[in-house]
């Protein structure tokens, strides 16, 4: 099967446009009603926050503008639900 590789220019442009960022998956233990903040404890940038909500443990979310994509949270997650995705440079959420 033929595969298409990006041109060097497109590759470099992609490197400039995107950067790695932590993504919290659907199987976060908080969604199953289990209190967990392991990722927040592991994050050296304090990029992971927990939004209070009624009836469930706080919802876990990543401040994309602060996350460096270091991956420390990935291994710390007992639910194995954090992955490194891509964010546009300049994302400020
Ligand atoms: S990838 Fe690194 S900086 Fe980003 S949320 Fe995880 S531990 Fe924090
Ligand atoms: S460590 Fe994993 S399971 Fe625990 S709060 Fe973070 S994303 Fe959810």
Q: Is residue 77 part of a domain?
A: yes
Residue 62 phi, psi dihedral angles, 5° rounding: -105, 130
Compute, in angstroms, the gap from residue 89 CA to the centroid of ligand 1: 16
Residue 1's pLDDT band (cuts 50, 70, 90): very low
Average of per-residue pLDDT across 28-39: 96
Identify the pLDDT of residue 14. Answer: 59
The residue to mutate among 24, 31, 43, 49, having the most atoms of ligand 2 within 8 angstroms of its beta carbon, is: 24
Q: Is residue 2 part of a domain?
A: no
pLDDT tens, position by position, 60-81: 999 999 999 999 999 999 999 9
Q: Is residue 15 part of a domain?
A: no
Q: Are 58 and 30 in contact (CB under 8 A)?
A: yes
Q: Is residue 45 part of a domain?
A: yes
In the chain, the number of structural domains is 1
> Which CATH number is 70's domain given?
3.30.70.3270
Q: Is the CB of 28 under 6 A from ligand 1?
A: no
Q: Is residue 12 part of a domain?
A: no
- Bridge-based pairing of strands 18-24 and 82-88 is antiparallel
The residue to mutate among 51, 77, 80, having the most atoms of ligand 2 within 8 angstroms of its beta carbon, is: 77
Domain holding 80, by residue range, is 20-88
Average of per-residue pLDDT across 52-62: 96
pTM comes to 0.81
Q: Is residue 81 part of a domain?
A: yes
Q: Is residue 36 part of a domain?
A: yes
């Amino acid at each position: 099967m033929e595969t298409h590789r990006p041109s060097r220019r497109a590759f470099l442009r992609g490197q400039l446009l995107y950067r790695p960022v932590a993504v919290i998956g659907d199987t976060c233990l908080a969604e199953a009603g289990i209190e967990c903040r392991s990722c927040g404890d592991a994050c050296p940038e304090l990029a992971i926050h927990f939004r209070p909500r009624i009836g469930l443990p706080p919802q876990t979310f990543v401040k994309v503008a602060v996350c460096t994509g270091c991956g420390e949270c990935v291994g710390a997650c007992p639910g194995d639900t954090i992955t490194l995705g891509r964010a546009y440079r300049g994302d400020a959420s």
